[in-house]
Amino acid sequence: MFKTYYPKEGDIEKKWYLIDAKDKVLGRVASKAAYILRGKHKPEYTPSVDMGDFVIIINADKIRVTGNKFMNKKYYRHSGYPGGIKEIPFYKMMQKDPTFAIRNAIKGMLPHNRLGRKQLKHVKIYAGESHPHAAQKPEIIEI
């Protein structure tokens, strides 16, 4: 009989990848990052194990959205009180926190459980060109 392969924590080799988001579409960057964070690019992918690698995203402030989303896309939050819904448009959110849009998009593409929360910690998003992870020798990914 053959046994099903199930990876152990020590068997998993984590790599670092770099994505330059300058003039790239938000959803395409987020889906590629989520794919790598989950580990779906590896042949030994297992859905219930954190197989994914680390992702560094630079130039988050220069990300694009298509159509009229720059003005019309809105992010919502609720205080929990009646009438406590707040909305903030995409362009204002980009001024306030340029990394929020990418992090929020990636978060929506990961599992909504403790594994997804752990995987979201493996993405490092920076508004500018520089990042402090040069020692990890990240591999550049083109989108």
Domains of the chain: 14-65+98-141 (3.90.1180.10)
Stretch among 7-16, 19-28, 123-132 having the lowest mean pLDDT:
7-16
pLDDT single digits (tens) 59-78: 999 999 999 999 999 999 99
pLDDT single digits (tens) 36-67: 999 999 998 999 999 999 999 999 999 999 99
The CB-side HSE value for 38 (13 A sphere, CA atoms) comes to 21
At 122 the pLDDT is 97
First-to-last alpha carbon distance for the chain, in angstroms, is 42
Say if residue 140's pLDDT is above 90.
yes
* CA 84/CA 29 separation, integer angstroms: 32
Q: Kindly report the average pLDDT of the chain as a whole number.
A: 95
Say if residue 5's pLDDT is above 90.
no
Say if residue 105's pLDDT is above 90.
yes
24 burial level (CB within 10 Å; 0-12, 13-18, 19+): buried
At 11 the pLDDT is 87
Torsion of CA 10, 40, 16, 30, to 10 degrees: -140
